[in-house]
Structure 1
Amino acid sequence: MKMNTYDLIIKAGKVFCSDTKLNTPGAIGIKDGKIVEFNADIKTKSIKTLNYPKGTLLPGFIDLHTHPAPSHWKYGMEADRFLLSRGTTTTMSQGDAGSNNWNKYKKAIIKKSKIDIYMALSAANNGEEFDHPVFESFEDIDINQAVETIKNNPKLIWGISANLSETCTYIHKPQNIMSKVLEMAEKSSKPILYGMRWEPFDWGIKDQLALLRSNDVVTYCFHVGPGGLAPKGHVEDSVWEAKEKGIKFDIGHGMNSFNFEVTETAIRDGFLPDSISTDYYYRHTNTIPIHDVPHTISKLIASGMNQNDAFERATFFPAKILGLEDQIGTLSIGSVADIVVVEQNTKNSELIDVNGNKRSGKLWEPVLTVKSGEII
């Protein structure tokens, strides 16, 4: 094969990349798993050429909150089957593994998956391997062991996961658990993926946010109720202050954390999430409401978000949170050839939130996924 022959060329009616400011028809050239050219019409020969005149070509989706894990673990689902097939090329586990089972997890899940998987390490030693509250035993939080695990795996372990809902904290005060989590984060110099305490509502959101630091990520941000970010019809002042401080906000749709009224209120107030995630785990994979990344993007657009704002929050913005924006979430020359092409349905679909509320909107569907230059 000649050196000037590409492995793959993908043409699309629109190519969008927040990083490189692309928002135009064009084509991407791929060779050896990397993006090597963007042009309106690539002249170089290619082994394979695909054309999507009605499609929008994007960097592969990045989902910062899922549960890729062995099927016998509490939340475990097969990431290649349920995420990669829907355009997500990179994901992060919300605390499926802890310091006790990290090496086992890395071998069984990360190394055997096509999708790239990063970890927000559980503050609890065993993560979500077993079917009991993750913080059932207060002694099951070994700060030094977790810090050592993180320091030995700095590239794969992004940070620390702490979900402080009552189903996780059991009989313990969430403030006491959070104290240990913060110590762990400080000692490891890593951010926190934080699940808000909104069930029961016994710890004010203002007090929780005050503990978080710049670059920590709050997930479940569009939950409805007193523990959400807009319980009184507008985004709370403490939420704006947290955003100003550099705290990031993630959706974590799941079966409890995407409400249309809260989302519409936030967008109307000018508050946009920093990343679009799904909280996908095995009980979510074939359920209503459907909430993979393309569906969640569609719901955000139906709620009033600008289309390109939604696209960048599933691509470049989460890449920046991971610190990988020079490699993924971008279509820049030399970056990894992780790509999704989506097409918008011509007819409106019924979109559903976690509380059964419905909106009408056009659904974006993936028609092509490319992982490291390989067509999935």
Structure 2
Amino acid sequence: MLDLLIINGHVIDPKNNVDEIKPVAIYGGRITKYENGEEAKHVIDAKGKYVFPGLIDSHAHMFQDGTEIGMYPDTAYIPTGVTSAIDFSAGVANYSIFRQAVIARSKVRIKSFLQVCSAGLVTTSYHECINPKYFNAEKMDRMYKENRDNILGLKIRQSEELAEGLGIQPLIATVDIANKIGCPVEVHCTNIPVPTSEVLKILRPGDIFQHVYQGVKNTIIDENGKLYDCVLEARKRGIIFDTAEGRKHGDFEVMTKAMEQGFVADMCSTDLVLGSMYRRPIFSLPNLMSRYLCMGISLNEVIRMTTERPAKLMGMENEIGSLSEGAYADVAIFDIMDKEQLYKDWKGSKFLANKLLKPEMTIKDGYIMYCAPDYIYEN
């Protein structure tokens, strides 16, 4: 007998090219094959709803109580259909306590990128140090090797205000360390001190260009709104583009101009911190996804950006991010409501959306962990 059976829901599972009404069966914390007529201990009627793989936020800051910006992953994510996420907060000096105190105790599945600044992002009172002479490459190598099941790569914030006259040398040094370790690099690209092309030339296949729609300086489009050729060339080489819009990294004009020229980011993520959790302009991952849907990205693609692709980045493409037989039973049930919502970007530009992705239920490892108060799914 099955543990859970979800019936009558419109299943969207991009990894398996599923876009239809069909049952989803769960047994022993995993997705399992459904045999017609098979009984279940618990049946969830999802008629009129959408059924997605558990969502994945590919960029966030979850070092709760260990950094000033660290938000609470279970509180922020479980009620919004998010079952996995990637953190970018800790450095070699505090990663171990982050793993013990937060990762090990969270219901949300968390993997990490290690900040090249040893202290990570501990405070908002001052910027982290990205001067390469203070990088502890030996300890990064050891930390990565001892935690390969969790640490995915290295992270550098290559903003002009952090570089302090060093130009792009911090990124070059980070990539050099990553080459020796054997891992990818994720680079924060808001207000970079050099043209976008120079950053992309340094990045390797599998590296992540973060905050792709930022509009502060050296963006992905020129002064006439034309997408730089180097962006498309980088994608062909295997560079990954993520949004991580946060509070100041999303520019509607940059996004729409890029979309008009056929460019859409690979992943949709929030860059959530304590100060933006359930607050404008991001609020939550589904709220951001709602805007992308209304801006013209198909529902299938929005779900792919928040399931299949980040699952691959986490090295878990056969275990999460899909409803494949044998995958962890992480499932998100949503309604898509007709609701007007006014969005504003970092410089005050407005966008009026008319659809809202409303979380109805979150299932993690086969257990119901959230259900909206008005979702009465049993007869």
Aligned to 1:91: 85
Deviations, residues 166-207 of structure 1 (Å, cap 9, x unaligned): 4444x35142211220122101110011111x42x5311111
1:221 is matched with which residue: 198, 212, 215? 212
Indicate whether 1:345 and 2:337 are aligned.
Answer: yes
1:243 is matched with which residue: 210, 235, 241? 235
Aligned to 1:58: 52
Aligned to 1:230: 221
**Deviation of 1:129 (Å):** 2.2
TM-score (norm 2): 0.92
RMSD of aligned alpha carbons: 1.7
Aligned to 2:377: none
Q: Gaps (5+ residues) in structure 1? A: none
Q: Secondary structure at the match of 1:283?
A: coil
Deviations, residues 52-71 of structure 1 (Å, cap 9, x unaligned): 21111011111111000122
Q: Are residues 137 and 21 of structure 1, via their aligned partners in 2, closer, same or farther at CA, if it must alter by over 3 Å?
A: closer
Query: Aligned runs of 1:127-276 on 2, under 5 Å?
Result: 127-131=120-124, 132-135=126-129, 138-169=132-163, 171-196=164-189, 198-199=190-191, 202-231=193-222, 232-276=224-268
Deviates more, 1:281-290 or 1:27-36: 281-290
Indicate whether 1:360 and 2:356 are aligned.
Answer: no
Distance 2:96 2:319 in 1: 25
Aligned to 1:317: 309
Aligned to 2:110: 117
Code of the residue aligned with 2:262 in structure 1: it is G
Aligned length: 366
**Equivalent residues of 1:267, 1:303 under 8 A apart:** no
Indicate whether 1:374 and 2:358 are aligned.
Answer: no
**Deviation of 1:270 (Å):** 1.0
Aligned to 2:376: none
Q: Secondary structure at the match of 2:343?
A: strand
Q: Secondary structure at the match of 2:6?
A: strand
Deviations, residues 17-51 of structure 1 (Å, cap 9, x unaligned): 11111110011111111001257xx5221111111
Deviations, residues 336-369 of structure 1 (Å, cap 9, x unaligned): 0011111111233333333332222201111111
**Equivalent residues of 1:263, 1:300 under 8 A apart:** no
Q: Secondary structure at the match of 1:63?
A: strand
Distance 1:142 1:274 in 2: 31
Distance 1:296 1:27 in 2: 28
Distance 1:188 1:177 in 2: 17
Code of the residue aligned with 2:22 in structure 1: it is G
**Equivalent residues of 2:270, 2:282 under 8 A apart:** no
**Equivalent residues of 2:83, 2:108 under 8 A apart:** yes
**Equivalent residues of 2:212, 2:220 under 8 A apart:** yes
Distance 2:8 2:362 in 1: 13
Code of the residue aligned with 1:265 in structure 2: it is K
Indicate whether 1:296 and 2:288 are aligned.
Answer: yes
**Deviation of 1:140 (Å):** 3.2
Q: Are residues 38 and 255 of structure 1, via their aligned partners in 2, closer, same or farther at CA, if it must alter by over 3 Å?
A: farther
Q: Gaps (5+ residues) in structure 2? A: 370-379
Distance 2:79 2:180 in 1: 37
Distance 2:195 2:342 in 1: 34
**Deviation of 1:103 (Å):** 1.1
Distance 1:234 1:11 in 2: 46
Distance 2:318 2:259 in 1: 29
**Equivalent residues of 1:159, 1:185 under 8 A apart:** yes
2:9 is matched with which residue: 7, 13, 34? 13
1:67 is matched with which residue: 61, 78, 95? 61
TM-score (norm 1): 0.93
Q: Are residues 191 and 136 of structure 1, via their aligned partners in 2, closer, same or farther at CA, if it must alter by over 3 Å?
A: closer
Distance 2:68 2:339 in 1: 38
Distance 2:306 2:247 in 1: 19
Code of the residue aligned with 1:162 in structure 2: it is I
**Deviation of 1:136 (Å):** 6.0
Deviates more, 1:74-83 or 1:221-230: 221-230
